[in-house]
Amino acid sequence: MATARSFADMLAQFLTIYLPVTRACSHNTVSAYRDAFTLFLRFMDQRQATSPDKVSFEDFTASNMAAYLGWLRTDRHCSDATANQRLAAVKSFFRYVQTQAPEQIAQAQQVLSLKAAQVPQPAIGYLPVEAVGLLLECATRRGLRDLALLTTLYDTGARVQEVCDLSIVDLHLGKPASITLTGKGRKTRIVPLTPQAAQILTQHVRTLPDDSSKPVFANRTGQQLGRAGAAYILAKCVHAAHADRPELVPAKVSPHQLRHSKAMHLLENGVNLIYIRDILGHASIVTTEVYAKANPEMKRRAVEAAASKTLGPSRYDHASRQDLLDWLRQAI
């Protein structure tokens, strides 16, 4: 009879084989799953007096999980959205456990039956075209690398990690220019570049070592620029732009807001959602549809277009409107 596999062995298999190899998850995704369990082990140690090496499948009860989520909110000051992400990571692990260790199905169901907290959908933060232009002007003052970085983030609508991971070989700067991005699940996609972005990147690449395997964006030591470094560069440009036009550029802008801005601007210019989905690298069109729902200008245009087809042009002339106003004044 086979020996039941321990929680520690299953967790190690999940984090080192299943996620990075079978699922082809990125390093950042694997780290997020790891952090969920690191925090659970810390919770068990501090609140349940169970050292990490003693934690077993039996400790993943509905009551312990509920207490863990409460601990995240109170002691760790996590938002409901963050707590939901930790819960989703644990649930993903137990779905994996069910397929590998059927004897743990009953235990897994205690975790899988937990409901995530209801979290209101946050508004999508994006910048008007003029604000993006001002950010790029500020980046120009800082140097060619920073201008190329912000231009690439906006022009491709890429995630910040996708841009940080770019190597020179991923750039195709001839006509028509394009860029190869590697996204979630290590899936690659080719995104077209505008002529202006291609020109800026061409100038930037000329300053780099003649080695196609080198990163497009490097830090001062020549190593690949990280997400924190990209966010720092953007923050410096945002600070300068906000000082120039505080009514136009908010005090804080994240790299992801440049992605949102690109999607919104494409939508406002009539680009089909299918194409926007492919540019952004979304697995489903449903994810991309949030931009159409969040854009009030698109809603207004849709209502007006529908009204023009069903109602036709207004039949009131100036005199009719004036008569109506007179009637309203007299009748009410």
Annotated catalytic residue, options 86, 91, 242, 282: 282
Catalytic site residue from 23, 42, 256, 265: 256
CA dist., res. 135 & res. 213, Å (int): 29
**Is there a catalytic annotation at residue 256?**
yes
291 labelled catalytic? yes
282 in catalytic set: yes
Report how far residue 85's alpha carbon sits from residue 242's, in angstroms, rounded to the nearest whole number: 32
* Helix pair 129-142, 227-244: axis angle to 10 deg: 110
Which one is catalytic: 68, 96, 126, 291?
291
Question: Architecture of domain 129-260 in CATH?
Answer: Orthogonal Bundle (1.10)
In the residue annotation, 68 being an active-site residue is answered as: no
> What is the per-residue pLDDT for 105?
94
Pick the catalytic residue: 86, 145, 259, 260? 259
Residue tagged active-site, from 145, 159, 262, 277? 159
The three-class DSSP label of residue 89 is helix
User: Would you say the pTM of this structure is higher than 0.85?
Assistant: no
Q: 159 catalytic, yes or no? A: yes
3-class secondary structure for 205-261? Answer: HCCCCCCCCCECCECCCCCECCHHHHHHHHHHHHHHHHHHCCCCCCCCCCHHHHHHH
Answer whether 168's CB lies under 8 Å from 175's CB: no
Domain extent listing, the chain: 7-112, 129-260, 300-331
Q: What is the pLDDT along the chain (332 residues), one digit of tens a residue?
A: 456 789 999 999 999 999 999 998 888 889 999 999 999 999 999 999 999 999 999 999 999 999 999 999 999 999 999 999 999 999 999 999 999 999 999 999 999 999 999 887 666 788 999 999 999 999 999 999 999 999 999 999 999 999 999 999 999 999 999 999 998 878 899 999 999 999 999 999 999 998 989 999 999 999 999 999 999 999 999 999 999 999 999 999 999 999 999 998 988 888 888 888 988 988 888 777 777 766 666 556 655 555 555 555 555 555 555 565 665 555 54
Q: What is the DSSP letter of 143?
A: -
Distance CA 87, CA 66 (A): 10
Choosing from 184, 189, 239, 265, the catalytic residue is: 184
Residue where the block lists tokens 């970085």: 149
Q: What count of residues does the chain have?
A: 332
pLDDT on residue 1: 44
